[in-house]
């Protein structure tokens, strides 16, 4: 309800002049208010769509859309669809391949489809590049034999199966690989061989580290949140600063602090040796321990704040009633108090877990090679191996996991109850 | 909440146990941040106590180095640009979303909030590949757009919070007293949402100022921000200059914390919600 709609509605008498019924004019003004509200939101909505949603949509699309072979070797991709998949293809397929290789090599873009095929089967890159170099010198007669003479792998059914599988613009190859699955010769989904199976391990590791961090946050937060909720407001506010200061401090500052503290000759090792608890410096960083400690420190405020706000709202009468009815303190705590804090526990745990699953910076800086999480491999495939389809597939797995967790969170807590600070 | 006189041994154990445990957790939270502050004044390039002597050489290094100065300038530039843009977009959207007649509130809200939920690495890689098509990688504009997308949800949330319980009759009262829409906004709506706008703006600034994942992908050497510079420093050679930068950032976060707390109290007082 804005002033403008009101003033325009009151400026004209209700029944005179316009010839429109009251009902129609009400409907019109209703529409206009809706439009005004929509226009206020529209700039941000469009902004988020273009700068944020579209990039992510396109990234996820890349996980299934992989046209490198279909575009790079168009004739072969088309003709091989009719292949029976049992024996080495006919001469016609080799003719198409020779033409595709010739064009692509001359235009210096053979590496694109060759690299894509190499993801499916290592060795394909060199096989195609070699054929690309030689194809110009081939006679146009009996190409099949010349290809096989140049490299016997052209006479293997497996080579052609790889080309056929990659010849479609749409593929589930990368998504399956992200879960350590692949398609067998007959098209069934099977597990990849053990030496290629790395992604499920990373996925388990990501969830395991996140679960450890969540558990550590809960264990550390519960007593502190309880104390903060039950202390006099003045003391509680003072102590709350200790919770909020890390919350406001730069992530990089906190990660740096942990590196300085946990180094072999760092403050923690010094203190421990002074107290006689360690005989020699202990490796505390660039391993799992360092990752869990640093991530717990970073995410702790996100557990304390929801727990605190729930505990603050619990009236003490239930605990008193239980005690007066003869329950011992443990029963009062476990059967009466804890159940009332469960909404806060659930909200805090989910929030911390969601944030932990997507973590990149802290594990990358304080973890060892065996402690890197899913995010690290998304970055690795984007920057180092340049296998963007694989990066997209791993991102899709991470995205799906986050979405599921978030759906649970919003059902439990509600988006509108999200508070800051 | 003092311990009653009749408390027995178990009660005493719990009473002191919780306090000791909480004290340790508070120490865990605050100690790492405080430990690095004195080390930044160390005369030697070590990260250990006791320190051989005090000096300001790492601060001189920080303020004298062209790289760190450019990083500081870039961080402030992106922070301020992001704050202004996200305050504008976020406040407008929050005003629209708060109207009862706004259609499809659920899905729209979910989309607007999504930058807070989607893992940063997904956003960063997506933006990197998408912005490359538009020539926005390694540009200031690309960084501002990306940071604004990440920061605006905070403004929407804080302004929406100041609008909950907002009495729409105040607007009608203003209109009936002859105020035009602009005056109504300026004299009635704005004072109500201003604390939310400012604290949302601070959140937006800090989001941009602290952001490093997107900067890793979108910022070239010309657009390097402070956190990005610290990231390289940590990866290559941990120098005490990083601790000087970190100490300055801690001071900065204390200032932010105090400001937001003051604003929150003021807003609650204005809306008549007492603590």
pLDDT for B274 equals 44
* Residue range A187-204: mean pLDDT, rounded: 86
Residue B2 lies in a domain: no
Percent over 70 (pLDDT), chain A: 93
pLDDT for A357 equals 93
The rounded distance, in Å, linking the Cα atoms of A320 and A327 is: 10
pLDDT for B2 equals 63
Mark which residues 178-217 of A lie under 8 Å from B by CB. none
Percent over 70 (pLDDT), chain B: 96
Q: Across the interface, do B210 and A252 touch by the CB < 8 Å criterion?
A: yes
pLDDT for A90 equals 86
A304 has a pLDDT exceeding 80:
yes
Which residue in A9, A253, A262 has the most chain B C-beta atoms within 10 A of its own C-beta, making it the best mutation to test that interface? A253
The rounded distance, in Å, linking the Cα atoms of B224 and A411 is: 40
B119 has a pLDDT exceeding 90:
yes
Q: Are A165 and A112 in contact (CB under 8 A)?
A: no
A261 has a pLDDT exceeding 60:
yes
* pLDDT tens, residue by residue, A137-186: 888 888 888 898 888 899 888 889 889 888 888 988 899 989 999 887 77
pLDDT band at B273 (very low <50, low <70, confident <90, very high): low
* Residue range B218-245: mean pLDDT, rounded: 89
CATH number assigned to the domain comprising residue B258: 1.10.3720.10
> From A45, which residue of chain B is nearest by alpha-carbon distance?
B112
- Domain spans in chain A, listed from the N-terminal domain onward: 3-64, 68-168, 199-417
Element holding B143 (H helix, E strand): helix B140-163
Q: Across the interface, do B101 and A34 touch by the CB < 8 Å criterion?
A: yes
Give the 3-state secondary structure of residue A170. strand
CA distance B235 to chain A (A): 7
pLDDT for A61 equals 95
pLDDT for B1 equals 56
List of long-range contacts for B182-189, beta carbons under 8 Å, 24+ apart:
B184/A2, B184/A3, B189/B95
CA angle B195, B200, B204 (to 5 degrees): 150
Q: How many CB atoms lie within 10 A of CB B195?
A: 24
> From B51, which residue of chain A is nearest by alpha-carbon distance?
A267
Name the residue with tokens 């594990």.
Answer: A363
The rounded distance, in Å, linking the Cα atoms of A221 and B22 is: 8
DSSP characters for B234-255? HHH---HHHHHHHHHHHHHHHH
Of A286, A297, A395, the residue nearest A352 (C-alpha)? A297
Residues of the domain holding B94: 61-270
Cβ-nearest to B119 among A38, A249, A398 = A398
Of A300, A286, A305, A417, the residue nearest A362 (C-alpha)? A286
pLDDT band at B100 (very low <50, low <70, confident <90, very high): confident
Residue B13 lies in a domain: no
Least reliable range by pLDDT among A17-26, A147-156, A197-206, B182-191: A17-26
Name the residue with tokens 């550390």.
Answer: A220
A251 has a pLDDT exceeding 70:
yes
The rounded distance, in Å, linking the Cα atoms of A398 and B117 is: 12
Residue B10 lies in a domain: no
Q: Are B51 and B42 in contact (CB under 8 A)?
A: yes
B261 has a pLDDT exceeding 60:
yes
* pLDDT tens, residue by residue, A266-279: 888 888 888 888 88
Cβ-nearest to B89 among A39, A47, A395 = A47
Q: Across the interface, do B129 and A388 touch by the CB < 8 Å criterion?
A: yes
pLDDT for B272 equals 62
Give the 3-state secondary structure of residue A90. coil
> From A57, which residue of chain B is nearest by alpha-carbon distance?
B126
Chain B CB within 8 Å of residue A260 CB:
yes
Q: Across the interface, do A415 and B113 touch by the CB < 8 Å criterion?
A: yes
Domain count, chain B: 1
Chain B CB within 8 Å of residue A317 CB:
no
* pLDDT tens, residue by residue, A57-74: 999 999 999 898 999 999
Give the CA distances from residue A132 to residues A75, A126, A419, B68, in Å, rounded to whole numbers and listed in that order: 15, 10, 60, 49
Inter-chain CB pairs, A–B, below 8 Å: 301
pLDDT band at B14 (very low <50, low <70, confident <90, very high): confident
pLDDT for B218 equals 95
B22 has a pLDDT exceeding 90:
yes
Which residues pair with residue A65 across a beta bridge?
A: A170
pLDDT for A9 equals 46
Q: Are B255 and B209 in contact (CB under 8 A)?
A: no
Helix axes B66-98, B105-117, angle to 10 degrees: 160
* Residue range A250-266: mean pLDDT, rounded: 89
> Which architecture, in CATH terms, is A199-417?
Orthogonal Bundle (1.10)
pLDDT band at A417 (very low <50, low <70, confident <90, very high): low
* pLDDT tens, residue by residue, A101-121: 989 998 888 989 999 998 888
* pLDDT tens, residue by residue, B167-225: 888 888 998 998 888 898 888 888 888 888 988 999 999 999 999 999 999 998 889 99
The rounded distance, in Å, linking the Cα atoms of B85 and B75 is: 15
Which residue would you say has higher pLDDT here, A140 or A203? Answer: A203
pLDDT band at A369 (very low <50, low <70, confident <90, very high): confident
What residues have CB less than 8 Å from B103, skipping those under 6 apart?
A34, A37, A38
Q: Across the interface, do B29 and A242 touch by the CB < 8 Å criterion?
A: yes
User: Whole-number mean pLDDT of chain B?
Assistant: 88
Residue B27 lies in a domain: no
């Amino acid at each position: 309800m804005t002033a403008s709609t009101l003033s325009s509605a009151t400026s004209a008498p209700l029944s005179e002049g316009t010839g429109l019924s009251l009902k129609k004019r009400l409907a019109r003004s209703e529409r206009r208010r809706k439009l005004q509200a929509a226009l206020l939101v529209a700039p941000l909505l469009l902004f988020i769509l273009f700068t944020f949603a579209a990039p992510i949509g396109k990234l996820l699309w890349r996980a299934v859309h992989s046209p490198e072979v279909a575009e790079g070797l168009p004739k072969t991709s088309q003709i091989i669809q009719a292949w029976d998949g049992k024996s080495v293809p006919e001469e016609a397929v080799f003719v198409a391949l020779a033409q595709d290789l010739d064009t692509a090599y001359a235009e210096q873009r053979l590496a694109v489809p060759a690299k894509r095929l190499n993801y499916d089967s290592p060795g394909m890159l060199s096989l195609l590049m070699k054929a690309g170099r030689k194809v110009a010198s081939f006679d146009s007669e009996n190409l099949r034999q010349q290809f096989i003479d140049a490299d016997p792998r052209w006479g293997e059914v497996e080579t052609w199966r790889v080309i056929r599988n990659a010849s479609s613009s749409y593929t589930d190859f990368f998504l399956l690989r992200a879960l350590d699955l692949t398609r067998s010769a007959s098209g069934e989904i099977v597990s990849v061989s053990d030496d290629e199976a790395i992604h499920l391990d990373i996925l388990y590791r990501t969830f395991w580290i996140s679960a450890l961090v969540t558990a550590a946050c809960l264990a550390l937060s519960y007593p502190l949140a309880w104390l903060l909720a039950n202390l006099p407001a003045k003391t509680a506010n003072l102590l709350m600063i200790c919770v909020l200061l890390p919350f406001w401090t730069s992530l990089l500052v906190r990660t740096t602090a942990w590196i300085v503290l946990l180094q072999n000759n760092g403050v923690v090792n010094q203190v421990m040796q002074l107290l006689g608890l360690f005989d020699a410096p202990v490796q505390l960083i660039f391993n799992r321990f360092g990752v869990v400690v640093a991530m717990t420190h970073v995410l702790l405020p996100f557990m304390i704040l929801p727990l605190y706000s729930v505990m603050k709202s619990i009236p003490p009468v239930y605990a008193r009633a239980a005690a007066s009815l003869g329950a011992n303190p443990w029963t009062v705590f476990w059967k009466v108090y804890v159940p009332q804090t469960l909404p806060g526990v659930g909200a805090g745990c989910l929030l911390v877990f969601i944030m932990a699953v997507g973590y990149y910076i802290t594990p990358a800086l304080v973890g060892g090679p065996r402690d890197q999480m899913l995010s690290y491999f998304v970055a690795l495939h984007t920057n180092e191996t340049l296998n963007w389809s694989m990066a997209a597939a791993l991102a899709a797995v991470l995205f799906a996991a986050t979405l599921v967790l978030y759906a649970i969170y919003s059902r439990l807590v509600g988006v509108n109850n999200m508070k800051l600070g | 909440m003092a311990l009653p006189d009749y408390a027995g041994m178990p009660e005493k154990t719990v009473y002191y146990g919780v306090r000791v445990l909480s004290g340790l957790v508070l120490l865990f939270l605050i100690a790492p941040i405080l430990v690095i502050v004195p080390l930044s004044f160390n005369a030697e390039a070590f990260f250990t106590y006791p320190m051989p002597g005090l000096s300001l050489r790492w601060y001189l290094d920080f303020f004298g180095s062209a790289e760190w100065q450019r990083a500081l300038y870039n961080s402030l530039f992106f922070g301020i640009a992001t704050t202004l843009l996200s305050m504008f977009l976020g406040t407008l959207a929050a005003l629209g979303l708060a109207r009862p007649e706004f259609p499809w509130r659920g899905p729209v809200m979910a989309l607007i909030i999504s930058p807070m939920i989607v893992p940063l690495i997904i956003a960063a890689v997506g933006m990197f590949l998408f912005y490359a098509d538009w020539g926005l990688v390694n540009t200031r504009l690309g960084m501002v757009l990306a940071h604004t997308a990440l920061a605006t949800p905070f403004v929407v949330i804080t302004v929406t919070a100041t609008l909950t319980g907002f009495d729409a009759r105040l607007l009608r009262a203003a209109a009936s007293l002859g105020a035009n829409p602009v005056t109504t906004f300026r004299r009635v709506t704005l004072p109500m949402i201003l604390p939310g706008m400012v604290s949302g703006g601070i959140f937006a600034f800090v989001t941009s100022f602290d952001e490093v994942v997107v900067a890793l992908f979108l910022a070239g050497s010309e657009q390097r921000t402070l956190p990005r510079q610290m990231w390289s420093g940590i990866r290559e050679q941990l120098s005490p200059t990083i601790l000087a930068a970190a100490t300055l950032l801690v001071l900065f976060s204390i200032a932010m914390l105090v400001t937001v707390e003051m604003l929150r109290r003021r807003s609650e007082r204005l809306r008549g919600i007492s603590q």
